[in-house]
Chain A
Amino acid sequence: MLSQILEGMSLALHVDALLGIVIGVAVGQVLGAIPGLTASMAVALLIPFTFYFDPWVGIPMMLGMFKGSLFGSSMAAILIRTPGAPAAAATVLDGGPLADQGKGGKAMQTALAASVFGDTFSDICLILASGVLAAIAIRFGPGEYVLLIAFSLLTLASLSGKSAWKATVATLLGLVFGAIGLDPMLGTERLTFGQLDLFDGLGLIPVLIGVLAVSEVFMQMGKPLTHLASKTVEFSAKREDNRLSWLEFRGLLPCLTRSSVIGTIVGALPGLGATIAAFLAYNDARNISRTPEKFGKGALEGVAAPEAANNAVSGSNMIPLLAFGIPGDVAAALILGAFLIQGITPGPVAFQANPVPLYAIFTAMLLANAVNFGIGKAFIPLAKRMVAVPKRLLFPGVLIIASAGAYAIRGSLFDVQLTLVSGAVGYAMLRLGFPPVPMLIGFILTPILEKSLRQTVLVVSAADGWLDYVLSRPVLMVLLVLFAAVSVMMLRKRMQFVRQSTGAGDLASDE
Chain B
Amino acid sequence: MGVRKPIGALLAGAAMMLTAAGALAEYPDKTITMVVPYAPGGGGDTFTRAIAEEAKEIFGVNILVENRTGAGATIGVGSVARSAPDGYTIGFVSTSPVVLAPNFSNVPYDPSKDLTYLAQFIVSPHPFMVRADSQWQTFDEVLAWAKANPGKLRWSTAGPRGAPHIATEAAFRKEGVEAVFVPMKGSSEVLAGLLGDTLDAGVISDYAVPMQAGQIRVLAEIGPRPIPGLDVPTYKDKGYPMTPTIFFGLAGPAGLPDAVIAKWNDAMAKIVETERFKETAKRLGGQISFLPHAEFQPTVLDDIASTRKALVDLGMLDKK
- Contact residues, A311-358 vs B (CB, 8 A): 320, 324-328, 330, 333-334, 337, 340-341, 345, 347-350
- Asked if B6 lies at the interface with its beta carbon under 8 angstroms from chain A, I say no
Q: Are A196 and B212 in contact (CB under 8 A)?
A: no
Q: Are B41 and A197 in contact (CB under 8 A)?
A: no
Q: In the complex, what residue of chain B is closest to A140 when comparing beta carbons? A: B196
- Asked if B273 lies at the interface with its beta carbon under 8 angstroms from chain A, I say no
Query: Considering residues B70, B74, B159, which has the most beta carbons from chain A within 10 angstroms of its beta carbon?
Result: B70
- Asked if B226 lies at the interface with its beta carbon under 8 angstroms from chain A, I say no
* Bound CA span A412–B188, Å: 27
Chain A residues lying within 8 Å of B279, measured Cβ to Cβ, are: 51, 341
Q: Are A462 and B196 in contact (CB under 8 A)?
A: no
Chain B residues lying within 8 Å of A451, measured Cβ to Cβ, are: 183-185
Q: Are A348 and B213 in contact (CB under 8 A)?
A: yes
Q: Are A333 and B182 in contact (CB under 8 A)?
A: no
Q: Are A189 and B196 in contact (CB under 8 A)?
A: no
Chain B residues lying within 8 Å of A191, measured Cβ to Cβ, are: none
Q: Are B183 and A324 in contact (CB under 8 A)?
A: no
Stretch at the interface among A6-14, A38-46, A285-293, A396-404: A38-46
What is the interface residue range for chain B against chain A? Answer: 35 or more
Chain A residues lying within 8 Å of B40, measured Cβ to Cβ, are: 40-41, 44-45
Contact of B192 among A194, A270, A330, A334 (CB under 8 A): A270
Stretch at the interface among B44-52, B87-95, B217-225: B44-52
Q: Are B182 and A324 in contact (CB under 8 A)?
A: no
Q: In the complex, what residue of chain B is closest to A141 when comparing beta carbons? A: B198
Chain A residues lying within 8 Å of B153, measured Cβ to Cβ, are: 462
* Bound CA span A334–B212, Å: 20
* Bound CA span A411–B69, Å: 9
Chain A residues bordering chain B, tally (CB within 8 A): 54
Contact of A455 among B106, B108, B159, B183 (CB under 8 A): B183
As a 0/1 sequence over residues 437 to 480 of chain A, the CB contacts with chain B under 8 angstroms (1 = contact) are 00000000000000100110011011000000000000000000
As a 0/1 sequence over residues 93 to 118 of chain B, the CB contacts with chain A under 8 angstroms (1 = contact) are 00000000000111110000000000
Contact of B213 among A138, A140, A349, A410 (CB under 8 A): A349
Q: Are A51 and B152 in contact (CB under 8 A)?
A: no
Q: Are B215 and A200 in contact (CB under 8 A)?
A: no
Chain B residues lying within 8 Å of A337, measured Cβ to Cβ, are: 41, 46, 283
- Asked if B287 lies at the interface with its beta carbon under 8 angstroms from chain A, I say no
Contact of B196 among A138, A271, A328, A461 (CB under 8 A): A138
* Bound CA span A85–B49, Å: 25
Contact of A200 among B70, B180, B209, B210 (CB under 8 A): B70
Min CB gap B110→A, angstroms: 15
Q: Are B46 and A349 in contact (CB under 8 A)?
A: no
Chain A residues lying within 8 Å of B197, measured Cβ to Cβ, are: 139, 141
Q: Are B66 and A411 in contact (CB under 8 A)?
A: yes
Chain A residues lying within 8 Å of B215, measured Cβ to Cβ, are: 324-325, 347-348
Min CB gap B155→A, angstroms: 10
* Bound CA span A140–B192, Å: 9
Q: Knowing A196-B75, A455-B182, say if A410 contacts B70 (CB, 8 Å).
A: yes
Chain A residues lying within 8 Å of B75, measured Cβ to Cβ, are: 196-197, 199, 412
Could you pull out 9 A-B pairs where Cβ atoms are within 8 angstroms?
A40-B41, A48-B50, A196-B106, A199-B105, A271-B185, A325-B210, A345-B212, A410-B39, A458-B182
B residues neighboring A (CB under 8 Å): 39-41, 45-46, 49-50, 53, 66-72, 74-75, 78, 104-108, 151-154, 159-161, 180-185, 188-189, 191-193, 195-198, 209-210, 212-215, 276, 279, 283
The 9 A-B pairs of least Cβ separation, nearest first, read: A44-B40, A199-B71, A347-B213, A141-B198, A44-B41, A187-B161, A462-B180, A138-B196, A349-B213
